[in-house]
């Protein structure tokens, strides 16, 4: 009988030790919910605003590209993006109804490994005649092309036809993107 007790205790001691260790460890490694949410948002990738958020009548289906498929989207310019730490891209075309007819703009958001990559790409593609946009940090436009950066993301919006309405459409996309009006 003594042997049975000794054997049972010998079997239970490791289990009790494991339970104690798991309980102790679990209490020490709680993640901050805000930090977890920030990490999840960062991992989701680049996003474009919804058509309604930019004031567009419609938007084409969003296309996505990664390091392997970027050449399909911007053949010839992909090397510069990759050199700056490009990770992913989403792109669409927004259509705006105006009194003069429909205006289309192409919108692209590129995710880089860090903010320096996004700012580097912005500087490389910023039109020479572009001026800073009031109320939008790190955003420039020449009325035909608008470029902006926010953290590791780089926005490029291009009007298919120049004009005052097109410039307003570009700025509308940038403001919605800057405010987080995501799809």
Q: Is residue 40 part of a domain?
A: no
The total domain count for the chain is 2
Q: Please tell me the predicted confidence (pLDDT) of residue 182.
A: 52
| pLDDT tens figures, 28-63 | 666 777 776 666 666 678 999 999 999 999 999 999
For the segment 117-137, the average pLDDT, to the nearest whole number, is 94
Domain match, 96 and 146 both: yes
Does 181 have pLDDT greater than 70? no
Which tokens belong to 10? 């010998």
Domain match, 122 and 154 both: yes
Of 88, 91, 177, give the one whose Cα is nearest residue 139: 177
User: What is the percentage of the chain residues whose pLDDT exceeds 70?
Assistant: 91
Domain match, 164 and 101 both: yes
Q: How confident is the model at residue 180 (pLDDT cuts 50, 70, 90)?
A: confident
Domain hosting 107: range is 45-178
Domain match, 169 and 85 both: yes
DSSP strands (E only) in the chain: 58-59, 63-66, 86-98, 101-112, 131-132, 139-141, 145-150, 153-159
Domain match, 85 and 13 both: no
| pLDDT tens figures, 159-169 | 999 899 999 99
Distance, in Å, from the CA atom of 108 to the CA atom of 64, rounded to the nearest integer, reads 10
Domain match, 24 and 71 both: no
């Amino acid at each position: 009988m003594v042997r049975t007790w000794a054997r049972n205790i010998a079997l239970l001691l490791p289990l009790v030790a494991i339970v104690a260790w798991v309980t102790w460890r679990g209490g020490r490694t709680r993640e901050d919910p805000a930090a977890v949410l920030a990490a999840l948002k960062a991992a989701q990738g680049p996003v474009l605003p919804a058509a309604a958020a930019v004031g567009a009548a419609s938007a084409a289906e969003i296309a996505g590209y990664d390091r392997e498929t970027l050449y399909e989207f911007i053949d010839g310019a992909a090397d510069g993006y990759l050199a700056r730490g490009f990770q992913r891209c989403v792109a669409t075309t927004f259509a705006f109804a105006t009194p003069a007819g429909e205006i289309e703009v192409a919108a692209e958001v590129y995710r880089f490994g860090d903010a320096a990559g996004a700012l580097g790409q912005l500087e490389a593609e910023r039109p020479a005649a572009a001026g800073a946009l009031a109320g939008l940090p790190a955003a420039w436009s020449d009325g035909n092309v608008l470029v902006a950066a926010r953290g590791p993301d780089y926005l490029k919006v291009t009007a298919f036809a120049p004009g005052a309405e097109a410039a307003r459409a570009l700025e509308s996309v940038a403001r919605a993107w800057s405010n987080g009006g995501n799809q």
